[in-house]
Structure 1
Amino acid sequence: MSHYSNSKLLDRPEPGLIKWSPNPSDDNFLHVNLQQRVVQLYKPTGHARRGRFDYERVAKLDDIPPLSTYDWSPAYPGLVAIGTASGTINIINLNDSTNHYLEQRLKFTRFCQAIAFNNGSLLAVGLERVRNDQCLQVWDINRLAELKPGASWPSLDGSVLGEAIHRFEPATTVSSTKFFEDSPQTLVVGIRNQGIRIYDLRGTFNARLIFEALS
């Protein structure tokens, strides 16, 4: 894992995305280079001021899977989930320098539209419509919660998260997903050409639709 310092961040911007940590106690930020498929984690080393921003790279992962969407866990700062056009969910560990990533494969291949962590251990994924499967799926990432800074990524592939604990929306395209910050068991989803729906995910067997607004 390499470290270097710089200032005047992105004077010559690379194509990609920047996301500040969703954890309020963490000041780090990500830069995702979409063309070169590189994720880099940075931390500020001074206050931003006119014409200058000092920062230091603390992690870099190369050759990440091509992504269609991604999210960064607020509860586990090292975890980033990547959705792909093939529907595979890839999970990378920013604390691991081996460039290994874990795969959660789906029953049917299709485009991953949206992905979101809550501030606990849930990961929600919105998928393109397919006839024989639900397009909103939620996993519990608790089995990955024991990751420690600097620890090696476990060698697990194929179905690292196991079975989804919640499955909704058969034969619809889920275009967006977002958990409420102050109600982490409440998930709002956008349904293409239909509107929005809100789910209460409390309890494995009691999760239910609690609100619907048609477009």
Structure 2
Amino acid sequence: MVTQTADRRLLWHPRLDDKFLVGSSSQITLYEWDVKTSEIKHVTSKHWQEPSVCIAWSPDPAFDDLVAVGFGLGKVDLLRLHDAKLPRGSAFSNGAALSGGPSITLPVRYSRPCNALAFCPADPNYLAVGLDKVRSDASLVIWDVITATATLSIKSPTQLTFNVPPSGAPPRPQPLIPKGDIASRTDPRVLQQLVQGDMVSSVAFLPKSTTLLLAGVSHRWLRLFDLRNPSPTVFTAASKVHGIATDPFDQHRIACYGDGIVTMLPRMASTSKPTT
């Protein structure tokens, strides 16, 4: 769940643990709530120079410390917070230096704000990125970040790594998202590029699906992309879309909001009739 104000974003742990992130345009801070004492403890912080716009927390059960941060010029950084922990006894309020953990950048071809990020709950290797519009490029990009393994590996006593399945682990959830018809010079981690000539303000994968992706387009359209084919099928419903919420218990029930209106869509299809 994401709660957002003009200059703060709060993200609860994606697997309902007792941790949460608070992000601003220049910093992200991880806190932990002690259930026994009701104390909120500062765990670690990470800061940057370029203003950020959006943050997503990976739901991968293999680790708790991977976040994606979208910036005002369009790039997305994948950050591990493990090495950013302050030394025991450090005082956060006295200006102590914040160390940097491993990170990797997902670049954008043409600079414009990154508006929205969403990891896929069914396969957290998929990351959807929503961007402002630009005449000669797509505004919705689907990345497969599993190839970031080597860069984001942390050498520690427990040998934490980024999404490296142990020997004998089950294969990735099916179906896999196929690679679309994209330019040969495009980053090989990009699987599909969608939405030409419009801005994408919000994105969300359906909870139990690897290939069904929702996107708010130009604040006026809610679109569902079926990514099982290189040329996705698209269903559209007219609605005010500044944000999207999915129901973890019923993946066919969707809500979106905008201009003071909340819209419920019990079934997303080309003939959907929203209720407000």
Alignment TM-score, normalising by the size of structure 2:
0.60
Structure 1 residues 163 and 169 mapped into 2: Cα distance closer, same or farther (>3 Å)?
same
Report deviation, 1:27.
2.2
**Matched position secondary structure for 1:183:** coil
Distance of 2:149 and 2:14 partners within structure 1: 17
- Superimposed CA distance per residue, residues 53-100 of structure 1 (whole angstroms, 9 cap, x where no aligned partner): 312222222336411111111115221111111111112111122415
Question: What is the CA-CA distance between 1:193 and the residue it aligns to?
Answer: 5.0
Indicate how the Cα distance of structure 1 residues 149 and 210 shifts in structure 2: closer, same or farther if over 3 A, else same. Answer: farther
Query: Which structure ranks higher in relative contact order (CA pairs < 8 Å, sequence separation ≥ 6)?
Result: 1
Query: Cα distance 1:148–1:130, how it changes in 2: closer, same or farther (>3 A)?
Result: same
The 2-side partners of 1:64 and 1:207 are apart by 38
Counterpart selection for 1:69 from 54, 63, 72:
54
Q: Which residue of 1 aligns with 2:138?
A: 134
Q: 1:44 aligns to what?
A: 33
The structure 1 segments of at least 4 consecutive aligned residues displaced by more than 6 Å after TM superposition are 151-154
Find the counterpart in structure 1 of residue 10 from structure 2.
Answer: 18
Query: What percentage of residue pairs aligned between the two structures are identical?
Result: 27
Under a length normalisation based on structure 1, what TM-score does the superposition of the two structures give? 0.75
For structure 1, which runs of at least 5 residues remain unmatched after alignment? Answer: 1-14, 155-160
1:54 aligns with 2:39: yes
Greater Cα offset, 145-154 or 106-115: 145-154
> How many residues align structurally?
186
How far 1:148 moved relative to its partner?
5.1
Measure how far apart 1:194 and its partner are.
Answer: 4.0
The corresponding residue for 1:7 is none
The higher radius of gyration belongs to: 2
Q: 1:149 to 1:31 in 2, by over 3 A?
A: farther
Consecutive unaligned residues in structure 2, runs of 5 or more: 1-6, 85-98, 163-186, 240-276
Check 1:107–1:208 CA distance in 2 against 1; reply closer, same or farther (3 A cut): same
> For 1:184, what is the secondary structure of its paired residue?
coil
